C-alpha cells in the first residue's frame, strides 16, 4: 500500500482508529479463509437474504466474501463516520465540497417541481425547472424540424462538443437510450460526440456532413476549457468555410455554459445558451443542460422519465435504512473489498450492448471522485482509497480479460449488470446472454476444484491448468429492462455508492485537483512546440529530448516522413 505524506505531516489515522474499523480488522482475520462454496453450503437461503431492491433495481450481493456479521460491522463503521449526517448535508445544500467551498447538489437536477432545496437562502429547484423547460422547447424545435439552419434546411446531425463529464455523460446516455432515439418519428436525426483534442476526432465526426444541416452543442461551464474550445473553434471554421457569414453561427451553435460574455464573443446567441450551476460537478451533470443532446435524441418526455429514475434512487438513498439501502450496501462492500480484502480494482460488466460506454462513464465518476490521497482536513491517508474501475460489455469480455478474473493472481470484484427483458428480442439470444451472466458469477464464486477436474477424466498433467480457485466476489444488478427510468436509477445507484465510499474514507469526492497539473504544464509546453525559433527548453532531460524530437519530425514535409516510415516503392517486394 502506498502512503502519501507531506513535509511535516503525520498520517491521519481517524478512520483506522475507529472502534468499528478495528472490529472489522478482527472480523476479517476470522473469516479470511472461508470460501464462498462453504458459505452457501452452510446457508441455503443466503442468496435470498443477501439481496435488496429499490427504484426498479435488484441487488444480489450474496456472492461477496461476507458472513452474517460483516454487514452489521460495516454499518457500524458508516455510523461512526457520520454517513447519515453526510447524506443530509448534501441534500440540504451544505458545502460538502470543502476544498472548493461548494455545495454538491446534482440531486436538485432531478428534484420534482414543488420540492425545496435552498442554497445561500435561495430555492434552486425553480431555476432547474426553468432550464429544463427551455431545453424541452429547443429540443422539440430541433426534433420537429422547426429549427432551421442558416440556409433554411432542417437540422439532420447534432454534434456534442465537450470533454470529461460533458462528453462521457452525453455519449453514454445516448448509446444507452439509442433504442428510444431510433424508434420514434425522429429517427432521421444523427448524433456525434467530439471530445479528444486530436484533430482526427473532429475530422472523422464531420466527414461527409453538410454544415447547413449540422447543429453543434458546445458544452463548457466556463467556456474556457482548452480541449472543448479547440474543437469548438475547429467547428466554427468548418461552418464558416461553407456558409461564409458569421450570422450563420447563431443557427448552428448553441452553448451549455455560464459564461455569457465569451459565448457571445464566439458568435453564439446567448438566447441559445443553457446554464447550470457551480454546485454541479461535470461527472454528475448528465441530468443538467449537459444532457441537451440526450433530450434532443429521446425527447423531453423520456428525458424526464430518466430524471424520475434518478430521483427515486435519491429518495431511497436518503431515507432507507442502511441495511436495506442499495447505494450504501454497494459502497460499504467496496470499502470491505478495498481495505480488508486488498482488492485494488473493480470490473463493471454490463450484459447489455446499449451500455457499452457505461464502464467508461463510471471510470470518471468513481476515479475522479475518490482518487484522493488526503482527507477532507488535508491530512494524508494511511489506507487505500478509490479502486480502479474498468470493464466491457458481456459477452465480449469473456473472450478477453475474464481469464485473468477467473485464474489470475489479482482479486477483482465484479459488478454484473443485466436486464430480464431485451429491447430487441431475437429468437432465444437474450436467454443465452443472461445464462452467461449467471454462469460467470457462479463460476467466480464456486470455482472448480482439482478433484472435480480429475473426476472428468482430465489428464493429470493438465488438471492444474483447469482448476478454478473461485471465491471471487461479485454483485449482480438486475433490472426489468433498459428504460430511461432504469438508466437514471442505475446511474444514481453508482453516484451514491461513490458518495458512501468517500464518506467512509473521509475524503472530498467532489473536487478534482488531480486534473489540473498536467493541463498547466501542457499550456507551458505548447508554445515550445509551436514556436519557429526553437526556444530554449528548461524541462527534465527526458521531456527536453522528446520535445526536440517532436519539433524535428513534425516539421518535416509529410511525404518525406511517410516515405521514411514505410519505405520507397522500390523496397516493396513484388
The residues carrying an active-site annotation are 368, 399, 519
Q: Which of 404, 421, 362 has its CA nearest to residue 169?
A: 362
Contact 46, 65 (CB under 8 A): no
Task: Return the exposure string of 253-287: e unless at least 16 CB atoms fall within 10 Å of the residue's CB, then b.
Answer: bbbbbbbeebbeebbbeeebbbbbbebbbbbbbbb
CA atoms within 13 A on the CB side of 526: 9
Q: What stretch of H or E contains 206?
A: helix 199-206
CA atoms within 13 A on the CB side of 455: 5
Spatial distance between the Cα atoms of 453 and 449, rounded to a whole number of angstroms:
6
Contact 168, 360 (CB under 8 A): yes
**DSSP-derived secondary structure for 451-486:** HHHHHTT--TTTGGGG-B-----EEEEEESS--HHH
Dihedrals phi, psi of 508, to nearest 5 degrees: -90, 105
**DSSP-derived secondary structure for 374-390:** B-TTSPBBSS----EEE
Contact 165, 285 (CB under 8 A): yes
Residues 71, 72, 78, 84, Cα dihedral to 10°: 110
C-alpha dist (Å) from residue 441 to 44, 303, 358: 17, 33, 20
Spatial distance between the Cα atoms of 444 and 470, rounded to a whole number of angstroms:
5
Rg (CA), the chain: 26
DSSP 8-state symbol, 183: S
Spatial distance between the Cα atoms of 308 and 362, rounded to a whole number of angstroms:
20
Amino acid at each position: 500500500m502506498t502512503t502519501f505524506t507531506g513535509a511535516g505531516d503525520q498520517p491521519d489515522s481517524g478512520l483506522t482508529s475507529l472502534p468499528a474499523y478495528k472490529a472489522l480488522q478482527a472480523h476479517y482475520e476470522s473469516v479470511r479463509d472461508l470460501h464462498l462454496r462453504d458459505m452457501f453450503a452452510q446457508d441455503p437461503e443466503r442468496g435470498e437474504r443477501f439481496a435488496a431492491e429499490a427504484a426498479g433495481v435488484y441487488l444480489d450481493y450474496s456472492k461477496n466474501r461476507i458472513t452474517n456479521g460483516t454487514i452489521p460491522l460495516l454499518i457500524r463503521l458508516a455510523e461512526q463516520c457520520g454517513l447519515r449526517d453526510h447524506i443530509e448535508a448534501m441534500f440540504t445544500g451544505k458545502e460538502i465540497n470543502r476544498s472548493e467551498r461548494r455545495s454538491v447538489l446534482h440531486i436538485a437536477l432531478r428534484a420534482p417541481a414543488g420540492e425545496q432545496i435552498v442554497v445561500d437562502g435561495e430555492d434552486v429547484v425553480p431555476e432547474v425547472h426553468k432550464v429544463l423547460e427551455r431545453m424541452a422547447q429547443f429540443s422539440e424545435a430541433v426534433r420537429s424540424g422547426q429549427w432551421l439552419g442558416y440556409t433554411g434546411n432542417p437540422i439532420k446531425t447534432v454534434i456534442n462538443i465537450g470533454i470529461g463529464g460533458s462528453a462521457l455523460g452525453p455519449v453514454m446516455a445516448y448509446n444507452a437510450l439509442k433504442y428510444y432515439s431510433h424508434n420514434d418519428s425522429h429517427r432521421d436525426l444523427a448524433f456525434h460526440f467530439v471530445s479528444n483534442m486530436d484533430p482526427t476526432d473532429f475530422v472523422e465526426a464531420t466527414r461527409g456532413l453538410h454544415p447547413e444541416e449540422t447543429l453543434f452543442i458546445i458544452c463548457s461551464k466556463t467556456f474556457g476549457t482548452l480541449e472543448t474550445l479547440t474543437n469548438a473553434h475547429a467547428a466554427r471554421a468548418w461552418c464558416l468555410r461553407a456558409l461564409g457569414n458569421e450570422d450563420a453561427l447563431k443557427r448552428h451553435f448553441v452553448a451549455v455554459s455560464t459564461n455569457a460574455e465569451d459565448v457571445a464573443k464566439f458568435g453564439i446567441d446567448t438566447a441559445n445558451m443553457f446554464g447550470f450551476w457551480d454546485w454541479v460537478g461535470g461527472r454528475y451533470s448528465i441530468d443538467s443542460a449537459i444532457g441537451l443532446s440526450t433530450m434532443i435524441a429521446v425527447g423531453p418526455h423520456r428525458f424526464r422519465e430518466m430524471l424520475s429514475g434518478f430521483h427515486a434512487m435519491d429518495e431511497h438513498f436518503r431515507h432507507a435504512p442502511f441495511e436495506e439501502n442499495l447505494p450504501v450496501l454497494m459502497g460499504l462492500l467496496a470499502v470491505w473489498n478495498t481495505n480488508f480484502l486488498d482488492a485494488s480494482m473493480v470490473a463493471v460488466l454490463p450484459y447489455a450492448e446499449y451500455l457499452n460506454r457505461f464502464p467508461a462513464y463510471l471510470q470518471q465518476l468513481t476515479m475522479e471522485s475518490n482518487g484522493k490521497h488526503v482527507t477532507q482536513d488535508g491530512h494524508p491517508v494511511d489506507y487505500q482509497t478509490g479502486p480502479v474501475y474498468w470493464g466491457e460489455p458481456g459477452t465480449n469480455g469473456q473472450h478477453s480479460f475474464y481469464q485473468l478474473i477467473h485464474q489470475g493472481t489479482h482479486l477483482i470484484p465484479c459488478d454484473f449488470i443485466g436486464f430480464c427483458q431485451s429491447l430487441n428480442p431475437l429468437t432465444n439470444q437474450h436467454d443465452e446472454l443472461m445464462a452467461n451472466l449467471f454462469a460467470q458469477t457462479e463460476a467466480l464464486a464456486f470455482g472448480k476444484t482439482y478433484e472435480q477436474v480429475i473426476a472428468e477424466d482430465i489428464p493429470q498433467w493438465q488438471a492444474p491448468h483447469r482448476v478454478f480457485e473461485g471465491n471471487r466476489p461479485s454483485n449482480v444488478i438486475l433490472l426489468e429492462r433498459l428504460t430511461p427510468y432504469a438508466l437514471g436509477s442505475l446511474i444514481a445507484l453508482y453516484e451514491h455508492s461513490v458518495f458512501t465510499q468517500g464518506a467512509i474514507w473521509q475524503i472530498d469526492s467532489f473536487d478534482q485537483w488531480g486534473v489540473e497539473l498536467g493541463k498547466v504544464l501542457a499550456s507551458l509546453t505548447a508554445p515550445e512546440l509551436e514556436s519557429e525559433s526553437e526556444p530554449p527548453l528548461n524541462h527534465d532531460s527526458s521531456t527536453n529530448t522528446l520535445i526536440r524530437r517532436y519539433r524535428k519530425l513534425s516539421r518535416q514535409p509529410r511525404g518525406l516522413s511517410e516515405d521514411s516510415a514505410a519505405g520507397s516503392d522500390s523496397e516493396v517486394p513484388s
